[in-house]
Amino acid sequence: MSSLPLPARPARRLPLAWPGIAGALVLLFWLAAAAVGPMLLNANGGDLGGGDVFAPASARHWLGTDYLGRDMLARVIEGARYTVGIALAATLLASSIGTVLALLATVSAPWLDAVLSRGMDTLTSIPSKMLALIMVAAVGSSLGMLVPTAALIYIPGTFRIARSLAVNIHAMDYVTVARTRGEGRLYVMLYEILPNIVGPMLADLGLRFVYVVLLLASLSFLGLGVQPPDADWGSLVRENIGALPDAGAAVLAPALAIASLTIAVNLVIDNLPGRAARGAKGGR
C-alpha cells in the first residue's frame, strides 16, 4: 500500500529582504550607540585632549583623533546621542502633529480643512533651510529649540500625505456605515481611518527621519546646530575640516556615520513587505 506524498511546506519568507536586513542591523547599531554607547565608553574619553592632533586610525584610537587629540570613536558615539536623539524626537513630533491635523481636517467642516491646508501650503512655500535659519537666528540653537524647529519644518509634508490617505479612506462605505450608526468624529478618526493609514505613515516617518538628520547636520556644519561642548555628527565634520586635505579619519568618520544612517533607513523603507508587494504587482 503506497502512501501519498506529504505536501511540501511553503518556504517561510523573511519579513525583510537581505538589503533591508542589512539596513535594519545598521540602524539598530546606531540606535544602541545613541542609547547606551556613551555609558559604555570611558566617561572622560571624549572630553580630554592632549594627544596627537588628527592622528590616524590605530589600535589605541580606532578612528583616529580629532583637532584636540580626542578619541574620535568616543566622539562619534557621543555625537550619535544628539544626531539620532534629536532627529527621532523631531520626526515623531512632526509625524504626530501632522497626522492628527490631517485626520481633523478630513472629518471636520470644509472651512477648517481649507484653513489647515492653506496654512500648511504657506509653510511649504518657505525653503526648509531658510526657515530653519530664521528660527535659529530668532530663538537660538539650544537643544530644546532644535526639536520643535525641525518638527515645524516637516509637519506640512506629513500633513499632506496623511490627508491624502485619510480622504480616500473617509470615502469608503464602512466609514459611511459608522457615521450612519451614530459614531462621532473621534471614533471615525481613531478606529476607522487611522488604522488604515498607519503603514504608509510609518514609511513616511522613516523618510522624514532622514530629512531631519540631514537638516540638523547642515545646521551644525554651519555652526547653528548643536553647540560645544556637545557635538553631533555635523558639528564633528565642521570641527575637523582641517583633516580633509589628508583624508583624515577625524573628518571621514562622522561623514560616513551620517551616510550609513541615512542609507540604512532608506534600505529598510524600500524593503518593507507592503512596498515590496506593491512593487512586484506594478512590474507585471
Distance CA 123, CA 216 (A): 18
Share of the chain above pLDDT 90, in %: 36
Average pLDDT, the chain: 83
pLDDT band at 145 (very low <50, low <70, confident <90, very high): confident
Distance CA 183, CA 179 (A): 5
pLDDT of residue 223: 83
**Over residues 144-163, mean pLDDT:** 92
Dig out the grid coordinates for 53 from the structure.
592632533
Classify residue 94 as exposed, middle or buried by CB count within 10 Å of its CB (0-12, 13-18, 19+): buried
pLDDT of residue 7: 55
When mean pLDDT is compared over 38-47, 48-57, 88-97, the highest value belongs to 88-97
Distance CA 106, CA 282 (A): 29
Nearest to 37 by CA among 72, 70, 69, 74: 74
Alpha carbon distances (Å) from 202 to 98, 156, 158: 13, 16, 11
**Least confident interval from 26-30, 172-176, 185-189, 243-247:** 243-247
pLDDT tens-place string over residues 201-251: 988 998 899 999 999 998 888 888 888 888 889 999 988 888 877 767 888
Distance CA 172, CA 187 (A): 15
Omega cis (within 30) before 229: yes
Q: Are 99 and 228 in contact (CB under 8 A)?
A: no
According to CATH, what is the number of the domain 81-259? 1.10.3720.10
**Over residues 19-48, mean pLDDT:** 78
Residues 6+ apart with CB under 8 A from 265: 23, 27, 206, 207, 209, 210
Q: Are 48 and 70 in contact (CB under 8 A)?
A: yes
pLDDT band at 166 (very low <50, low <70, confident <90, very high): very high
pLDDT tens-place string over residues 117-139: 999 999 888 888 888 888 888 88
Distance CA 164, CA 158 (A): 10
pLDDT of residue 3: 53
Query: Residue 253 pLDDT more than 70?
Result: yes
pLDDT of residue 225: 84
| Amino acid, res. 230 | D
- Bridge-partner residues for 65, per DSSP? 71
Name the residue ranges covered by the structural domains of the chain. Answer: 81-259
